[in-house]
Structures are given as structure tokens and as C-alpha cells.
Amino acid sequence: MAEQVFHHPDIYRIDVPLTGNPLKNLNSYVIKDQGESMVIDTGFRNEECLKVLMKGLQELGISPERTNLFVTHLHSDHIGLAQYFDYPDTKIYMGQRESYYFRKLLYGKVREERARLYVAEGYPKEKYYESDHRNPARIFMPNQEFFVTEITDGARIRIGNVEVTALEMPGHTPGLMCCYLEKEKVMFTTDHVLFDITPNITNWLGMEEPLGCYLKNLDRILEYEVLHTFPAHRNLSDKTLQQRVEEIKRHHRIRLEEIRKGKGEVIREERETDRGIQHFYILK
Ligand SMILES: [Zn+2]
């Protein structure tokens, strides 16, 4: 179901379920103005997500043949269904840097590079591939090419009378982009700032110090005047963007301090999950 979350311009949220995944849902947003529209992020490439997203769009009188799509980053829960929006009269926007990494991911190159890194640090090769095969990021990613309109930091996109500025905020991924409506002071934070959970940071070849980069961009997002924040997962929050950024920064300071002091103890736990017994390594 499409729920209106903002007026002037009309912004809707389609709550796309990510069944069996700890993220629980993906908030797909739709900006609609003067008969034009743009969807922000899609959900996984699976039957359930496709059904819910298309039903939500239908309720809003939008067909994928006539709407633009903005993919904030390459993770499957955001880009999974992008191929269903590839039509001659539509555009699929994506950051240039992110698009480069996405193509590497699509052709299996990131997996090979990651495997080499893991193995070099002592992780058993077979285990890496075993868990990779079960990884929803891999299973639910797009399975065919689609045409991308690549954009860079600061690019402006018009939907009717609405102006959206794309802001590159690397950290969670190498070229993640947030969408900003300057006039309305609306920020779509995607996975850069989440409210109920903390965005994960992983390493990418060619990206130096992802955590440092992430923290720098947490500061950068506060340079914009924001009154309404729309994150990509879970619930919308009454907290301000500034409050949440401070909380996330504090969280990282505490964790880094624990590691620096060597007090952290890594504990291996077996947990029953929807995908069977999984092993978790937890820093206590
Ligand atoms: Zn993500």
C-alpha cells in the first residue's frame, strides 16, 4: 500500500517487505508532481517485492513505463528490481562511481576480489563461497543489463516543479547517493542514516578507509538544512537528522575505543535463523 508521507510535493512511501531478512523492509519512495514521478529504490528482485512495489505504483496511477527511477546504491534491496523500469521514455539514475562498482558486482568481480581479501586474512576460502551463495545480496540482485543514466555529486533532477539534488555520500558503499529537496528541506538518507538500526560499513577495493569516509560524510550531511528525513529502512522517526547523526557517531566512537583498548572480546554464537543455523561473530 502506498502511504502519503509528505504534501507539496506529494511524496509516498511503499513499504516493501524483505521477508526473512533482518532489515525487515525497504521504504521505496515516490515523488509525484505535475504528472511526472520518480521512484527512489525498489526492493529485492523477487516475486514478493515485485508484487508489492507494482501494486503500490498502480495505486498511485504510475506505470514503470512512464516513471523515472533513482537508485541510491548498489545493494540488492535498493537496485533489485531496476531492470523492470528500463523503457525508452524513462531514466534510471545512479551515481557514476556506484554504477562502476555495480557492474563489477554484476559480473562477479567484487566477489573474486573479496574472496582474495578474506583468504589473505585467514578466512577459509570454501566457507567464503558457501556463505556467498546463500547471501541475499547475491541471490536477489538484478539478473540482466539495464540502461543507467549516470550522475555525479550535485546533479539536479526535475520532476514537474520539484528539484532534486543528488548528493554523493560514500561510506556505506563507494558511491551512495542521497536525494535532497532544497526548497522543501527534505532529505532521503537511504542507508547513510537509518534510525532504528546502524548502517553497516564494509571494505571495498579501491576505497580507502570506508569508516573514516562514512564518518566524514555524516558530518557533511549536516551541512544541509533538513526538516524532514526519509530513511530507506524501518520506521520514520521523530528524531532530527542531527540527533541521529550524533548518536551514530557516538556509537562508532565507543566501538572504536573498545577495539583500541583491546577490551573487546570476540564471541562466536550459533543462532537459528530463517536461513538455518548461522554463525555470528560478536564483539562484546
Ligand atoms: Zn545498503
24: left (phi over 0), alpha (psi -120 to 50) or beta: left
**Considering only CA atoms, which of 40, 90, 41 is closest in space to residue 63?**
90
Domain boundaries, the chain: 2-244
Give 164 Cα–ligand 1 centroid separation in angstroms: 21
The b/e string for 159-191 (b: 16+ C-beta within 10 A; e otherwise) is beebebbbbbbbbbbbbbbbbbbeebebbbbbb
Give 202 Cα–ligand 1 centroid separation in angstroms: 10
Return the pLDDT at 269.
75
Q: What's the predicted TM-score (pTM) here? A: 0.90
- Residue 114 phi, psi dihedral angles, 5° rounding: -65, -45
Give 192 Cα–ligand 1 centroid separation in angstroms: 8
Alpha-carbon distance 145 to 235, whole Å?
32
Give 102 Cα–ligand 1 centroid separation in angstroms: 12
Give 180 Cα–ligand 1 centroid separation in angstroms: 18
Per-residue confidence in pLDDT tens, the chain, 284 aa: 899 999 999 999 999 999 988 889 999 999 999 999 999 999 999 999 999 999 999 999 999 999 999 999 999 999 999 999 999 999 999 999 999 999 988 887 777 888 888 888 788 888 887 777 777 778 899 999 899 999 999 999 999 999 999 999 999 999 999 999 999 999 999 999 999 999 999 888 888 889 999 999 999 999 999 999 999 999 899 899 999 999 999 999 988 888 888 766 677 777 776 666 766 666 66
- Residue 96 phi, psi dihedral angles, 5° rounding: -60, -45
Give 75 Cα–ligand 1 centroid separation in angstroms: 5
Residues 6+ apart with CB under 8 A from 214: 170, 171, 172, 199, 201
Give 10 Cα–ligand 1 centroid separation in angstroms: 25
**Considering only CA atoms, which of 228, 201, 237 is closest in space to residue 216?**
201
Give 52 Cα–ligand 1 centroid separation in angstroms: 20
Cβ atoms within 10 Å, residue 258: 14
Give 34 Cα–ligand 1 centroid separation in angstroms: 31
Return the pLDDT at 119.
83
Give 137 Cα–ligand 1 centroid separation in angstroms: 10
Return the pLDDT at 275.
60
Give 159 Cα–ligand 1 centroid separation in angstroms: 25
Give 23 Cα–ligand 1 centroid separation in angstroms: 10
Give 215 Cα–ligand 1 centroid separation in angstroms: 16
State which CATH number among 3.40.30.10, 3.60.15.10, 3.40.800.20, 3.30.70.2190 fits the domain covering 2-244: 3.60.15.10
Instruction: Express each pLDDT in 192-215 by its tens digit.
Output: 999 999 999 988 888 888 999 999
Cβ(13)–Cβ(232) below 8 Å: no
Give 72 Cα–ligand 1 centroid separation in angstroms: 9
Give 25 Cα–ligand 1 centroid separation in angstroms: 12
Give 243 Cα–ligand 1 centroid separation in angstroms: 21
**H-type alpha helices, the chain:** 47-59, 76-79, 96-106, 109-120, 125-134, 136-139, 210-221, 241-260
Give 48 Cα–ligand 1 centroid separation in angstroms: 19
Alpha-carbon distance 120 to 3, whole Å?
48
20: left (phi over 0), alpha (psi -120 to 50) or beta: left
- End-to-end, the C-alpha distance of the chain in Å comes to 40
Give 263 Cα–ligand 1 centroid separation in angstroms: 29
Give 1 Cα–ligand 1 centroid separation in angstroms: 23
Instruction: Express each pLDDT in 89-115 by its tens digit.
Output: 999 999 999 999 999 888 877 778 888
